[in-house]
Structure 1
Amino acid sequence: MDILRMAVSATQRGKLIAAGYTSLSSLSSISPPVLARDLQIPESEASEILKAASQSVRLDNSNGCHAIIAGAQTAWDMLNEEDTSRCITTSCADLDNILGGGINCKEVTEIGGVPGIGKTQLGIQLAVNVQRPADYGGLGGKAIYIDTEGSFMVERALQIAEACVEDMLEYRGFLRKNFEPCHVSMQPKDFLANIFYFRICSYTEQLAVVNYLDKFISDHKDVKLVIIDSVTFHFRQDFDDMALRTRLLSGMALKLIKLAKKNSLAVVLLNQATTKYSNGSFHLSLALGDSWSHACTNRVILYWNGNERYAYLDKSPSLPSASAPYSVTPKGIRDATSSCKRIKMM
């Protein structure tokens, strides 16, 4: 049970989230005076909120203690799960190879890079590709797209969906030796209908939506991908309290990790890039600092090498660091070509 299920008013819940209290555990060691100061409310009101939190914890413990104990797994079971887990193709063979087949489920993957490198293009491509049947490199699932910058383009999503249908038709026709006319049941409009879009305009909205995802996915169990584009934007805008920012980000990261494992889905966080000075020179780094880099299972950095786009696997628990070229075409993310130029897409 989390903050969203506490017996408090919507206004109080919003103040808690804005102040960084996104879980019951974050309220466990807080005194009424401290909470009153953080929420800018009377101490009597803070005491009532803490009382409600205490009651929620007792109820949660009485209902969930046996589930926690029963949740243990053996290492052998974990290995079997990894062997049978499926990936979402990126539509670029070289990029899939360095990722071990594509974007993995039950993991949080961070993808960052400079503006114009193709982060949103890759996010839209994944939102389409996750809907492909398993035989075509997908999971037959749906996607949630959380847009914090207003960069999602439905016209571009339609282009990529149309190209996806063409690719599946071509692939199926290649497999059929008699070259009979083949049919793919999914149409471009079906891909768009399976992308749940959330437009976020503040960091409090972002935290609220992340907290709401567990319930939303319980009502839409076929969701297999969550994308946040970008996870950074609202946390770099007028945020002076770095301690609060770190606490909010840590809480959000833990929720996303738990969400991915609990629902066997992939979480992709698109991040912005910045420059970092070390050893006498500047180099490309992803935003939100070093502490944030530990929040994700995998980290991929997109960068320019001349006129070609490259992806570098910077962090993975099971794969070696490696680079792969890719390109952004009118059809979406594809294998790199020698004629790849810095073309601005829609």
Structure 2
Amino acid sequence: MSSSDAAAEAAAAGGEHGPFPIEQLQASGIAALDVKKLKDAGLCTVESVVYSPRKDLLQIKGITSKLVPLGFTSASQLHAQRLEIIQVTTGSRELDKILDGGIETGSITEIYGEFRSGKTQLCHTLCVTCQLPLDQGGGEGKALYIDAEGTFRPQRLLQIADRFAIMIVDSATALYRTDFSGRGELSARQMHLAKFLRSLQKLADEFGVAVVITNQVVAQVDGAAMFAGPQIKPIGGNIMAHASTTRLFLRKGRAEERICKVVSSPCLAEAEARFQISPEGVTDVKD
């Protein structure tokens, strides 16, 4: 049995949600010595083996092509994986409605918008809701918050749980804008950004967490802007667009009201929802 097939079997036999320790591969016929080689290479979970590219596994000393044959994932296997996905509530029923229940685990959700459009406040709320029980729309886990803009306020968060359910990067592009400047460094910036986003996707795949990234915007000024005003577009170009599973655009409404639009998603229809920012975080608009 190949290491990838054994990894899939080990995960299925566990009867629980992963990640599963890599030692479980031995129960599926993988020799203890081969498991040790994988672990020495930094692969400590069954999922890390499943989602590693074949060429990376073959670079591990002692791992042969016999252990890593070419294969395919069936539609039924993908369907079974989709059944394990959890939606983490945003705190707003109207917003959850257009997101089919909330922020999806196992994928990257990008939230972009202008200053004070509600990006960080939504992230703060998700840090709390992800710790709620599953039957209350939570993920029964901790939140890992990477703050690149100095806007994180830990005093707004409560509770601690046993494992991570969500990972938030606020903002994914802030440091790239300062560390890479000018068109001469554009190529290097995009290559580094692509590797960073790929690392986030691997974390989402391996640990089944919801990855939420916020993004800044710029005004796109062209000939049409003379009549309709400058168009807002997110930073990162096609690299960011292709890496994000779901893209949400936030904009200001009246007072504390905000509007969220689903811009792109493989499983969600384009739609808008209103919510408001209150001392309790993200809530439904009180008419």
The question of a shared fold, defined as TM-score above 0.5 by the shorter chain, is answered with yes
Which structure 2 segments of 5+ residues have no match?
A: 1-36, 43-52
Are residue 323 (structure 1) and residue 268 (structure 2) matched?
no
Q: Structure 1: which amino acid aligns with 2:77?
A: D
Shift of 1:288: 2.1
Match of 1:251 in 2: 195
Distance 1:249 1:67 in 2: 32
Tell me how large the CA RMSD over aligned residues is. 2.9
For residues 79-228 of structure 1, what are the structure 2 equivalents within 5 Å? 79-157=79-157, 161=158, 191=159, 193-194=160-161, 222-228=163-169
| Contact persistence 2:108–2:210 (CA under 8 A) | yes
Q: Structure 2: which amino acid aligns with 1:332?
A: G
Identity %: 31
Shift of 1:106: 0.9
Q: Structure 2: which amino acid aligns with 1:292?
A: M
| Residue in structure 2 matching 1:290, options 238, 242, 259 | 238
The 1:320–1:105 alpha-carbon spacing in structure 2 relative to 1, beyond 3 Å, is same
Match of 1:183 in 2: none
User: Which of the pair is proportionally richer in helix?
Assistant: 1
Q: Structure 1: which amino acid aligns with 2:248?
A: V
Q: Secondary structure of the residue that 2:125 maps to in structure 1? A: helix
| Contact persistence 2:57–2:68 (CA under 8 A) | no
Larger Rg: 1
Q: Structure 2: which amino acid aligns with 1:63?
A: I
Match of 1:234 in 2: 175
Shift of 1:285: 1.5
Shift of 1:290: 3.5
Match of 1:206 in 2: none
Q: Structure 1: which amino acid aligns with 2:171?
A: S
The 1:87–1:61 alpha-carbon spacing in structure 2 relative to 1, beyond 3 Å, is farther
Are residue 280 (structure 1) and residue 221 (structure 2) matched?
no
Distance 1:228 1:156 in 2: 17
Match of 1:333 in 2: 282
Which structure 1 segments of 5+ residues have no match?
A: 7-24, 29-55, 162-190, 195-219, 339-346
Distance 1:71 1:228 in 2: 34
Deviations 1:55-89 (CA, angstroms, capped at 9, x unpaired)? x9765264385675487431112123324421100
Distance 1:80 1:244 in 2: 38
The 1:68–1:108 alpha-carbon spacing in structure 2 relative to 1, beyond 3 Å, is farther
Deviations 1:252-310 (CA, angstroms, capped at 9, x unpaired)? 11111121112111100011122123561221211222332111100001002344310
The structure whose RCO (Cα within 8 Å, separation 6+) is larger is 1
Distance 1:130 1:335 in 2: 18
Shift of 1:320: 1.0
Distance 1:64 1:141 in 2: 37
| Contact persistence 2:93–2:284 (CA under 8 A) | yes
| Contact persistence 2:249–2:260 (CA under 8 A) | yes
Q: Secondary structure of the residue that 2:215 maps to in structure 1? A: strand
Distance 1:314 1:95 in 2: 14
Match of 1:267 in 2: 211
Deviations 1:140-169 (CA, angstroms, capped at 9, x unpaired)? 111111011111112222xxx3xxxxxxxx
The 1:97–1:61 alpha-carbon spacing in structure 2 relative to 1, beyond 3 Å, is farther
The 1:69–1:268 alpha-carbon spacing in structure 2 relative to 1, beyond 3 Å, is farther
The 1:278–1:102 alpha-carbon spacing in structure 2 relative to 1, beyond 3 Å, is farther
Q: Secondary structure of the residue that 1:237 maps to in structure 2? A: helix
The 1:71–1:300 alpha-carbon spacing in structure 2 relative to 1, beyond 3 Å, is farther
Distance 2:209 2:73 in 1: 19
The 1:66–1:263 alpha-carbon spacing in structure 2 relative to 1, beyond 3 Å, is farther
Shift of 1:224: 1.8
The 1:58–1:82 alpha-carbon spacing in structure 2 relative to 1, beyond 3 Å, is closer
The 1:65–1:303 alpha-carbon spacing in structure 2 relative to 1, beyond 3 Å, is farther
Q: Secondary structure of the residue that 1:236 maps to in structure 2? A: helix
